[in-house]
Homo-oligomer: A and B are copies of this chain.
Amino acid sequence: MDMWTITIIGVSTVFLALISLSFVLMLFRFIFAPRRTVKPSAKSMAQATPAVTTSPDGTIIAVITAAIAASTGHSAASFRIASVEAVGGFNTPAWGYIDRLARAVHGRQANI
């Protein structure tokens, strides 16, 4: 097959695929989120940050981040706490985690 055919089919396929996808995504807007469009005044670049800080979900992170940032004088953006994890996975119950946590620090077994 010659290169022109490949190029023509290639460019067409890329556009066809992505245009199809964009049609699907336009449907998304009507199916999933008709009333959710809000337009806050975008004053700062931190478009993401306010959402995190003000949503109830983000509170705990914001507090931890701010606390560490405040106590060290570094900007909150320059580091992250990688390992605050939600309890979950493989259904291990909470007492399992607490137990493991205790042993992780002390290398000893907390009797439960």
A71 CB, nearest partner CB in chain B, Å = 6
Give residues of chain A (40-69) contacting chain B, Cβ–Cβ below 8 Å: 46-49, 51-52, 55, 57-61, 63-65, 67-68
Specify how many copies of this chain sit in the oligomer. Answer: 3
Inter-subunit contact A101/B84 (CB<8 Å): yes
Question: Which stretch, A3-11, A20-28, A102-110, touches the partner chain B?
Answer: A102-110
Inter-subunit contact A101/B80 (CB<8 Å): yes
Name the residue on B nearest A50 (C-beta): B112
Inter-subunit contact A67/B60 (CB<8 Å): no
In the complex, what distance in Å separates the CA atom of A18 from the CA atom of B110? 26
In the complex, what distance in Å separates the CA atom of A26 from the CA atom of B49? 51
Binding site for B on A (CB under 8 A): 46-49, 51-52, 55, 57-61, 63-65, 67-68, 71-74, 77-88, 94-95, 97-99, 101-102, 104-108, 110-112
